Chain A
Amino acid sequence: MIDFFNEMYDAGGVRPPYAKLRDWMDTMPAELRSLKQAEAEALFRRIGITFAVYGEGGDPDRLIPFDMFPRVFAHAEWRRLERGIKQRARALNAFLADVYDRGEIVRAGRIPKRLVYLNEAYEKAVAGIRPPKGVYSHIVGIDLVRTGPDEFYVLEDNCRTPSGVSYMLENREIMMRMFPDLFGANRIEPVDSYPSLLRRTLASVAPEKCPGDPTVVILTPGHFNSAYYEHSFLADLMGVELVEGQDLFVEGEHVWMRTTRGPERVDVIYRRIDDPFLDPLCFRPDSMLGVPGLMDVYRAGGVAIASAPGAGVADDKAIYCYVPEMVRFYLGEEPILENVPTWQCAKPDELKHVLANLPELVVKEVHGSGGYGMLVGPKASKEQIEAFRAKLTEQPHNYIAQPTLALSTVPTFVEEGVAPRHVDLRPYCLVGERIELVPGGLTRVALTEGSLVVNSSQGGGVKDTWVMAE
């Protein structure tokens, strides 16, 4: 039986950051609890935050369950995480700047060249183009799990347009509204500066060709997109326009936005549209979502795009294995956050190991997401394991395998009261002229007893994430 790290209790009793939550939990009458839970749900419904996290698909109007029991980090724990996250965000950006320029890391033989240059996310169209301030990934979402007091692992990096930050903000908002006393009793670092930091980050990468106060917009694919709520929410909080492709056009050396006062120059585009749809002139010619000519303006330095087109080559599952190497190569530092040991089934030796140890491993599709199409060995039936054995033998290239991580647990409200449930964490690191990280992130929780899958499509929920002040 695997021993799971409980973030609230250890051998010595209640861990300090959770001390005051214990009284809160113990003294809360059952009626009040169900009342508050209903209130939280009503609040979420009213603000309309029902989109699917991380583009998992599924029913777009489904409400993701919110658990009122917060997840808490001690100040010192967070400072270490913060250093690790910022370090990783710097290394990922250095990698992107390098592979679209001279490719020193490839020349040095530290990462296989075909893995980089034949990657679907490597965009020839932006090679040799240096984006403003040399930044490619302006919002880096790093998915973390914890397995012990000091053990954290990075599950994956998200360098394109990581979603879910609106949950981080809304979860806090709702907790503060429902339990103001908790925020008096505990000194919790605020997260509400995120929108202004995001705005500042985006403004800081405005191209040199754009003098004056830069105009920032959010480019959305439209209201049918599962994260549209988040797009409009962030636009509101930042005080910037939310636009669709048809609201923008290219003329001369700039991108312009149609407004009732006439065309207004746009300097920075925070796009929530994937690369292939950005510009039909450069990428998919059938795309109706993008702006014709946008890429030429971008490449000639007339507009900034966040994240930069081509940034996806840094967060591919196959590239992931080399991120610690990037930290060493570009920063000359040892990685503060570890990767999960990963076996690449495409390599015959590693496949052999994986096949021999299937009941203990987690097997994932290389290009899969949302917790679909994966095998959790210890939880799987004999039939499921045999079915995966067949798939792996047939198409080893499609799979990677990792040890089953003993994900930490946090107390969670369940039918019977309070019980430990497994969690992960996605903090959102901002990279512009400076690197910023709001103290917190999105905690996802596997609500089913014993489940290690936190994805909302597989019965996952969300929690408010606290970082205690010093």
Chain B
Amino acid sequence: MKIQVDHLTRYHYDQPVRGVVQSHRLTPSRCTGQRVVRWDVSVSGGIKGGGFRDGAGDWVQAWTVTGPVSEIAVQVRGEVSTTDQSGVLRGHRETIPSVAWLRATSPTRADAALTELAQSATGDALTLAHALADAVADAIAYRPGATHAHTTAAEALALGEGVCQDHAHALIACARVRDMPARYVSGYLFADAQGNDHEAAHAWAEVWVDGLGWIGFDPANRCCPDDRYIRLGAGSDARAAAPIRGIARGSGVESLEVTVAVEAVQQ
């Protein structure tokens, strides 16, 4: 299908800041089943910095804004043509070996409860990965506002509620308990009329299955990513895989406003 994205992030500072530095992972991954028709990222008043493909295969683009500035708008507009790959990441070149994704970070560290949840699943590698995704979906109900940006997988499980970020963190933690490399993926999701109530700026997890490679799992929607998904990039956790990371120099307090529209292009 053809998916159109219009994603605007507005940063507002209550006092002008001296400058802003951002690191973007906002370009669709180069992989089978995902073809960019057009794609444009702009930063108001921004100077484009260097760009490079990182070890996970993602395009990272640096931007700086010279102050004083009190408002910045990051605008992403594009269109991607997708085909369903049943969640399997194909044709994606990366340097980091899968085993390196076994290292836990603080939001994805397994506590006793996550370990127990992970041990409850059985089956061969692929079956196990599916079972873990189901177990996470069963254990953490989708409820926006229940958690925040810094909630850990362990906290979300204890709470029994969370959003896609918490689902992804919990699945990563569980997979690692079972010695399966796992990572956080950020991207966009086109939700049709029957779809659940979730954000169009989405996140899920990828689990490494020997013989098959990286396979995406979206516990929040109880499925594997298909042609409704656009993959942007991966990292150890939400922070590492964030589409936009930034820091402002100065004492101004930042507030953020995000609007995302992901729509199917009428054929």
A interface vs B, CB < 8 Å?
Answer: 100-103, 106, 113-114, 117-118, 122, 124-129, 249-253, 280-282, 285, 292-293, 296-297, 299-302
CB distance B21 to A293 under 8 Å? yes
* B64 interface neighbour in A106, A128, A251, Cβ under 8 Å: A251
B57 closest partner in A (C-beta) = A128
CB distance B247 to A249 under 8 Å? no
CB distance B55 to A251 under 8 Å? no
- Complex Cα distance A301/B50, Å? 8
Supplied contacts A126-B55, A293-B62, 20 more A-B pairs, CB within 8 Å: A100-B55, A117-B96, A118-B103, A122-B100, A124-B56, A127-B54, A249-B19, A249-B249, A250-B62, A252-B48, A252-B49, A252-B64, A253-B50, A253-B62, A280-B247, A282-B23, A296-B23, A296-B50, A296-B62, A299-B52
CB distance B247 to A299 under 8 Å? no
* B49 interface neighbour in A114, A128, A280, A297, Cβ under 8 Å: A297
CB distance B49 to A299 under 8 Å? no
CB distance A250 to B99 under 8 Å? no
A101 closest partner in B (C-beta) = B95
CB distance B19 to A281 under 8 Å? no
Knowing A249-B249, A251-B19, A293-B64 touch, does A100 contact B95 (C-beta < 8 A)?
Answer: yes
Flag whether B236 is at the interface (Cβ < 8 A). Answer: yes
- Complex Cα distance A300/B60, Å? 9
Query: In this complex, which of B49, B60, B246, B249 has the most chain A Cβ atoms within 10 angstroms of its Cβ?
Result: B49
Give the bracket for the number of chain B residues in contact with chain A: 20 to 34
Flag whether B53 is at the interface (Cβ < 8 A). Answer: yes
Which residues 87-119 of B have a CB within 8 angstroms of A? 94-97, 99-100, 102-103
Flag whether B148 is at the interface (Cβ < 8 A). Answer: no
Which chain A positions have C-beta within 8 A of B97?
103, 106, 113, 117
Least CB distance from B4 to A in Å reads 28
Which chain B positions have C-beta within 8 A of A253?
49-50, 62
- Complex Cα distance A244/B90, Å? 44
Which chain B positions have C-beta within 8 A of A297?
49-50, 62
Main secondary structure of the interface of B (DSSP, over half): strand
Q: List 7 A-B contacts (CB under 8 A).
A: A125-B54, A251-B66, A282-B23, A292-B21, A293-B21, A296-B23, A297-B62
Flag whether B47 is at the interface (Cβ < 8 A). Answer: yes
Least CB distance from B56 to A in Å reads 7
- Complex Cα distance A405/B42, Å? 62
CB distance A300 to B55 under 8 Å? no
Which chain A positions have C-beta within 8 A of B56?
124, 127
A117 closest partner in B (C-beta) = B100
CB distance B50 to A118 under 8 Å? no
Which residues 243-267 of B have a CB within 8 angstroms of A? 245-247, 249
- Complex Cα distance A252/B51, Å? 11
Flag whether B143 is at the interface (Cβ < 8 A). Answer: no
Flag whether B239 is at the interface (Cβ < 8 A). Answer: yes
Which chain B positions have C-beta within 8 A of A124?
55-56, 96, 100, 236
CB distance B47 to A251 under 8 Å? yes
Which chain B positions have C-beta within 8 A of A101?
95
CB distance B64 to A250 under 8 Å? yes
Least CB distance from A68 to B in Å reads 49
Least CB distance from B25 to A in Å reads 11
- Complex Cα distance A464/B52, Å? 47
Which chain B positions have C-beta within 8 A of A118?
99-100, 102-103
B66 closest partner in A (C-beta) = A251
- Complex Cα distance A117/B103, Å? 9
- Complex Cα distance A274/B98, Å? 26
- Complex Cα distance A17/B51, Å? 56
Which chain A positions have C-beta within 8 A of B19?
249, 251
Which chain B positions have C-beta within 8 A of A106?
97
Q: Which 8 A-B pairs have the closest CB atoms?
A: A300-B50, A127-B55, A128-B95, A293-B21, A296-B62, A117-B100, A128-B55, A292-B247
B248 closest partner in A (C-beta) = A292
- Complex Cα distance A434/B129, Å? 50
Which residues 34-51 of B have a CB within 8 angstroms of A? 47-51
Least CB distance from B241 to A in Å reads 11
- Complex Cα distance A26/B62, Å? 67
Which chain A positions have C-beta within 8 A of B55?
100, 124-129
CB distance A285 to B239 under 8 Å? yes
- Complex Cα distance A260/B249, Å? 20
Least CB distance from A199 to B in Å reads 26
- Complex Cα distance A106/B100, Å? 13
Least CB distance from B155 to A in Å reads 19
- Complex Cα distance A249/B66, Å? 11
Which residues 3-52 of B have a CB within 8 angstroms of A? 19, 21-23, 47-52
CB distance A293 to B100 under 8 Å? no
Query: In this complex, which of A101, A103, A122, A299 has the most chain B Cβ atoms within 10 angstroms of its Cβ?
Result: A299
Least CB distance from A1 to B in Å reads 47
- Complex Cα distance A114/B66, Å? 43
* B50 interface neighbour in A102, A113, A302, Cβ under 8 Å: A302
- Complex Cα distance A285/B150, Å? 13
- Complex Cα distance A301/B49, Å? 11
CB distance A281 to B54 under 8 Å? no
- Complex Cα distance A302/B47, Å? 15
Least CB distance from A288 to B in Å reads 11
Least CB distance from B42 to A in Å reads 16
* A281 interface neighbour in B66, B99, B245, Cβ under 8 Å: B245
B21 closest partner in A (C-beta) = A293
Which chain A positions have C-beta within 8 A of B99?
113-114, 117-118
Which chain B positions have C-beta within 8 A of A302?
49-50
- Complex Cα distance A301/B48, Å? 14
CB distance B50 to A299 under 8 Å? yes
Which chain A positions have C-beta within 8 A of B94?
128
- Complex Cα distance A423/B22, Å? 50
Knowing A251-B66, A253-B49, A281-B247 touch, does A293 contact B23 (C-beta < 8 A)?
Answer: yes
Least CB distance from A69 to B in Å reads 48
- Complex Cα distance A129/B58, Å? 12
CB distance B247 to A293 under 8 Å? yes
